[in-house]
Structure 1
Amino acid sequence: LQRAKRAGIPVIATHTYQDGEEPPAAVKDLLASTTTVPFARSGQLQADYVVAQSGCEAKPLIITTNDLLASKHILKGMKDEFAELCPELEPGVIDVPVGQWGTNIKPEVQSYLVKNPDTDWVMASYDDQTVPAIAAIQAAGKGGSVKMTAYNGTPANVKQIQDGDILAADVGESINWLAWSVVDQSFRILSGVEPTEGGDQKTPLRIIDDSNVDETGTPPNNEDGYGDAYVEGYENLWQTGS
């Protein structure tokens, strides 16, 4: 970043910081702008879904990863929403470093389910945590009683919902919409226009479950399920439409 700054090359940090979050002081002056993400909102929506399905009697387990910057916001969003909706509900939490997802999520989740047999939800902070978590649920013999939520909306995960697997809901984000927002921010920098304040491009999230999963395509893809009005909006803004 320092070398890019000295060379006059603007740098935009994308999908790194929470909406409303300032980059660290050591980094802030080295960035031309950011495009932020509603990480906390993704956690809130997962909590909303669990409560909508199971009420305040839910017994969820949260998988977090403290060595990823977004995790603290996702976890806080989940905990704050549970505290708001169900003050007596205390979710379990396990922290698995990102480099250990493939090896440690399964045994840790399985062990938790054995020790806490009334657990009925596992909430993954990221889609890539779901495969080992589902394996843990099945290994614990809980495939019929424990459901999952996750965040990212990657097509492979969404297909699990479509196929009726243990994953009940995924808080999806439109990768295409995010890409357009990054290009918009880049155009602003390159043309000498002030970037979007705080980097918040208002990119959306959507809870995907059995009720709407087919809107994402069969099989699911990155383009469907979020509408396409943003394309015309950006093209009109930059006068690039045909």
Structure 2
Amino acid sequence: MFNYKNIMGLTSALALSMAVMPMSAYADQAGIDRASERLASYSEKPVFTAPGEPFDIRACAEGRKMLSMPNSSANPFLKGIINRMKAVGDEIGLEVVEWENQGQPSQWVQGFDFAIRDKFDVINLISGISPDTVEPQVKAATDAGVKVMTSHFYDPSFEPHPLLSSTLPIGFNEIGKILANWVTVNTDGKAKIALIVSREVPPTIPLVDGIETELAENCPDCEIVSEINVGVSEWGTKIQSSLQTVLQANPEIDVVIPIYDSMSQFVVPALRLTGKLGEVKVATFNGTPFVLDFIQQGSVSMNIGESLDWIAYATIDGHMRDLCGLAVPDKLNVPFYIFDENNAADAGTPAQFDTGYGDAYITGFRELWGLN
């Protein structure tokens, strides 16, 4: 028997479902559009912004010594920065020495002893060694007249260790947001992600927070399927095998985010051995040349680059300002720039540490320092 009320109820339900679905699709597209808009500035060639007033850097640096201590000398990103700092130091009269180590705290302690014994002026803890880990050594160096500084380590949200003379932070949270927005745009808001981190390194925390908060806002259908946490000293032995296991257990994963790009040397073999190379997108951060080569080869999809040469100039600028009693910049004066298949060749073939970003920073720093 014909039931008018049932038909009306069915019609109302259908109308309601039709109304809800377009709104949901609209919300998803709004998130993708927001993510795309936030990425735009990172696809433009970086510009130089002076981090402070001009000063005579040669007068400040002449005859001084700086010991630069990475969290591990096996990290090619940090090795590249230090090598560029050595070259800049040669021009201004600053001796830059790397404390070679394999990521062991006992080796960091030995580095402090060496710097104190050999009367260095500055110890530069670059990108990874927490001053909390070596607090007695920081105090001993400070008491001996050696200024201990960090670079490329703290997020601006961090409170620096009180014994540090100064610090040059970078926006790790900002980096996380860039990664999240790129993934959102390049998977149509549907990413299934394997995230590779080193949580013992303090900057990892704000970086991952940036990924998670930005995905929550712009990509609610994106999912971090698995987080793989590997200590820095174990990258070479654990990343590849751990990722292979995760990919085999979760075939829906279509994006891998190794948050520091030197991890990629172990990610690419895992993708190759699981048959996922070129199928799974890889998005990462740092701009290390061999990873930019991976982009050109189709093994990595995107890298948030920082010119290692630019980092070297900016680090020496900030540390010499501290050494000479000048105001220290509140951050490392280095912009982020997205490399992908469209512009990775701009970094050179093979890629170089300081290619693809333009040379505005070289002219800018040289004029700032009175070298031109």
- Whether these two folds match at TM > 0.5 is yes
Amino acid in structure 2 at the alignment position of 1:178: I
Matched, 1:214 2:345: yes
Distance 1:188 1:13 in 2: 14
The 3-state SS of whatever aligns with 1:8 is: coil
The answer to which of 204-213 and 97-106 deviates more is: 97-106
Matched, 1:12 2:149: yes
Amino acid in structure 2 at the alignment position of 1:161: I
The 3-state SS of whatever aligns with 2:283 is: strand
The 3-state SS of whatever aligns with 2:169 is: strand
- Give 2:233's aligned residue: 99
Distance 1:81 1:181 in 2: 29
Distance 1:11 1:144 in 2: 44
- Give 1:133's aligned residue: 267
Distance 2:208 2:149 in 1: 25
- Give 2:283's aligned residue: 149
The answer to which of 174-183 and 99-108 deviates more is: 99-108
Give CA deviations for 1:118-142 in whole Å, capped at 9, x if unaligned. Answer: 1101110112211222222222222
The answer to which of 214-223 and 230-239 deviates more is: 230-239
Shift of 1:20: 3.6
Shift of 1:54: 0.8
Equivalent runs, 1:46-195 vs 2, <5 Å: 46-92=179-225, 93-164=227-298, 166-195=299-328
Residue in structure 2 matching 1:226, options 357, 360, 363: 357
Give CA deviations for 1:151-194 in whole Å, capped at 9, x if unaligned. Answer: 11111111111122x21111111111111111111221232212
Cα distance change on mapping 1:191 and 1:98 into 2, 3 Å = closer
5+ residue gaps in structure 1?
Answer: none
The answer to which of 148-157 and 103-112 deviates more is: 103-112
The answer to which of 89-98 and 214-223 deviates more is: 89-98
Distance 1:111 1:7 in 2: 49
- Please give the TM-score of this superposition, normalised by the length of structure 1: 0.90
Shift of 1:98: 1.9
Distance 2:148 2:353 in 1: 26
Q: CA RMSD, aligned part only?
A: 1.6
Give CA deviations for 1:71-94 in whole Å, capped at 9, x if unaligned. Answer: 112211211121121123221222
Distance 2:349 2:240 in 1: 29
Shift of 1:100: 2.1
The 3-state SS of whatever aligns with 2:195 is: strand
Distance 2:267 2:209 in 1: 21
**Equivalences, count:** 234
Distance 1:58 1:240 in 2: 49
Distance 1:35 1:193 in 2: 14
- Give 1:3's aligned residue: 140
The 3-state SS of whatever aligns with 2:208 is: helix
Amino acid in structure 1 at the alignment position of 2:268: I
Distance 1:187 1:99 in 2: 31
Cα distance change on mapping 1:157 and 1:144 into 2, 3 Å = closer
Matched, 1:203 2:340: no
Distance 1:141 1:186 in 2: 47
Distance 1:18 1:190 in 2: 22
Amino acid in structure 2 at the alignment position of 1:98: V
Q: Which has the larger radius of gyration?
A: 2
Distance 2:230 2:183 in 1: 22
Amino acid in structure 2 at the alignment position of 1:52: V
Distance 1:145 1:177 in 2: 33
Equivalent runs, 1:28-39 vs 2, <5 Å: 28=162, 30-39=163-172
Amino acid in structure 2 at the alignment position of 1:160: F
Shift of 1:144: 4.3
